[in-house]
Amino acid sequence: MQAQNWINSAKYNDLIATAVANKNIDLYTQPFLYLWQQRFNGTLPDYWTLSSIAASDVVILLVILAMTLLAFVLGHRTSLRQDEDARLLRAHLNRII
């Protein structure tokens, strides 16, 4: 992620320097996030736009959430099974005694 930030900053700096040198006020007055989403006038690859990075973050977070829920469900089922086994063992011990 740090390398990507460095590349985005360098591309932004190059774009703004060129815009200032060419007196392109429309370009260098645009917000950084807008320029990033526009790939700094096409100098970034498609997969480094703000929306594509946000989409990949959402996918990663959904995978983490799904794995967390799966771990909870499996742990809960194991706990219920252990409780049932303990109840049956207690019932057998009560019958034997």
40 contacts 12 by C-beta, under 8 angstroms: yes
Q: Residue 71 corresponds to which tokens in the numbers above?
A: 């771990």
State the pTM of this model: 0.64
Distances (CA, A) of 57 to 38, 42, 51, 78: 19, 22, 10, 32
Mean pLDDT within 58-65? 98
Q: Residue 61 corresponds to which tokens in the numbers above?
A: 């977070």
Residue with tokens 């990663």: 60
Residues 11, 39: Cα–Cα separation, whole Å: 9
Question: Does residue 73 register a pLDDT over 90?
Answer: yes
Domain ranges of the chain: 1-48, 51-97
pLDDT tens across 12-61, in order?
888 888 888 888 777 778 888 888 888 888 888 888 888 898 999 999 99
